[in-house]
Amino acid sequence: MEMKDIVKKLIISWKNSNGNVNSTEEILEWIQNINDKTYVNIQECSINDNTFWFYDDYNGEILNRKRSFFSVKGMRLFVNNAFVMEQPIIIQPEIGYLGIICKEIDGVLNFLMQAKIEPGNINCVQISPTIQATKSNFTRVHGGRLPLYFEYFENSARYTVIYDQIQSEQASRFLNKRNRNMIMLIDEDIPIYENFVWMTLGQIKELMKFDNIVNMDTRTVLSGIPIGSVNFSDNELSEMGTYFTDEALFRSFFTVQPADTLPNIYQYVNNYKMFNDIKKVSIPLNQLVDWDIDEYGITCKKQANFMVRYYKIAISGREIQNWHQPLFKAIGEAILGLICCKKEGIIKFLISTKNEIGVFDKIELGPSVQLEPIHIATNNNVVEALFFQHLLNHTGIITDVRLSEEGGRFYHEQNRNVILEIEENELSQLPPGFFWVDYGTLNYLIQINNCLNIQLRNLLSLVKI
């Protein structure tokens, strides 16, 4: 199947919010049934309650006996020789799989999604990719079985790969963390195991309207669907336009040229990388000035966005059903905002540049607003002030939903995700590092690694056609 035909079928699946294999109501009932029958018990504990994880006081590091999965160290950030911040950070250099299998069933593309429970999840069950596995998982460091459907991704050259890119994770919690995001089209019959179900792209998008149902890993993978990767004829574009309710959004997808926008973005980003000296210095946890460490975790002496706690975990139905591990526990709720505007008949999105402590290559492109709890009360620029004005007045809001961060490393961390539309004259001048960009150009940039941060990719996954 040619890429042009695949993109057309993806759009048709996106528009199909009722499903042709399982109804959305049946999927919601399926999620509830799994929640009801799965035993989940998550309790805070002392690191001394297990023999696998331990705190190395000499090196100031939390790690496990096999030196696998991840560790927690201290990190200091310096920009141009000036101290900026310090915090605990997750060190997980391995690249894992986040992959989704799709298949045409009765003429409609369906995606094989998993109902997965992670220890830090709100709502327990969340809709996850077909495979969501760290390298430690699929190399079986923990001694469990191989992740289901791993063989398809291991042998991906046999199938039609729609999207395959290594993308960054949360740079405020991880150091240089990346995962391989994949979408793969197959045409053979495959077994459907318990806790897996077929659904259309439109159904997944519908489920994103519910708080904490679709997990972060699904959202980042689906944001990479290469919509603007092919050139359609006028007749084909006319047909594609029938699937969109907003002509300006359709034009933002298909009638734009990245070359019109990219030079200004690249110039700003490359200037930042070239002329700013960014140093990240690893230090022992016990040398963090503002953080205390004890047998129950790590706590900041001042106001902070998170703490680290140890957990005793029991979840039935997983490769390993009982274990201990540390999790970064959220304090408060972050807000992520994407402002859009109609300019010359095309919807454009306002993006900004972000230079977080754990970012892989100094700076990434992020959403219009990206504020962790301790910064929400402070409007640092005109963009944030305008965003909160619309939020307060309930004007222009297209999407407003609370969605979870990665439950395998974070405990009950959810963000408020907002997409809102403003009038063109409401923001006449942008602060440095902000850019108006069409969807097609953003989609082009997602095909390149480490350009768009995970917060922006997650917001883009919520766009409705």
Q: Are strands 53-56 and 306-315 parallel, antiparallel or unpaired?
A: unpaired
For every residue of 362-412, DSSP letters joined together read: S-EEE-SEEE-GGGTT---SHHHHHHHHHHHHT-SEEEEEEEE--TTTEES
To which H or E segment does residue 133 belong? strand 131-133
For residue 44, give every residue at least 6 positions away whose Cβ sits within 8 Å of its Cβ, in sequence order, or none: 296, 309, 310, 311, 312
In a domain, 360, yes or no: yes
In a domain, 297, yes or no: no
**pTM (2 decimals)?**
0.95
For residue 156, give every residue at least 6 positions away whose Cβ sits within 8 Å of its Cβ, in sequence order, or none: 164, 182, 184
Which CATH number goes with the domain that contains 417?
3.90.79.40
Q: What is the pLDDT of residues 295-347, one digit of tens each?
A: 999 999 999 999 999 999 999 877 678 899 999 999 999 999 999 999 999 99
Question: What is the separation of C-alpha 263 from the centre of its chain, rounded to a whole number of angstroms?
Answer: 26
Q: What is the pLDDT of residues 141-157, one digit of tens each?
A: 655 678 899 999 999 99
In a domain, 406, yes or no: yes
pLDDT at 144: 64
In a domain, 26, yes or no: no
User: What are the Cα distances from residue 397, in Å, to 89, 334, 419, 465?
Assistant: 34, 18, 6, 15
Q: Which of 102, 122, 128 is nearest to 220 (CA)?
A: 128
% of the chain with per-residue pLDDT over 70: 98
Per DSSP, 221 falls in state: H
| Token pair in block for residue 224 | 């990479």
Per DSSP, 431 falls in state: P
Q: Which of 125, 108, 142, 137 is nearest to 22 (CA)?
A: 108
How many structural domains compose the chain? 1
In a domain, 385, yes or no: yes
- Which residues on adjacent β-strands are paired with residue 314? 41, 322
In a domain, 373, yes or no: yes
Q: Please list the ranges in the chain whose pLDDT falls under 70.
A: 136-144, 319
pLDDT at 419: 98
pLDDT at 140: 58
pLDDT at 317: 73
In a domain, 8, yes or no: no
In a domain, 387, yes or no: yes
| CA 337 – CA 375 distance, rounded (Å) | 14
**Which domain, by its residues, includes 254?**
250-278+332-460
In terms of DSSP H, where are the helices of 215-300?
216-222, 234-241, 247-254, 262-275
Cα 386-335-277 angle, rounded to 5 deg: 90
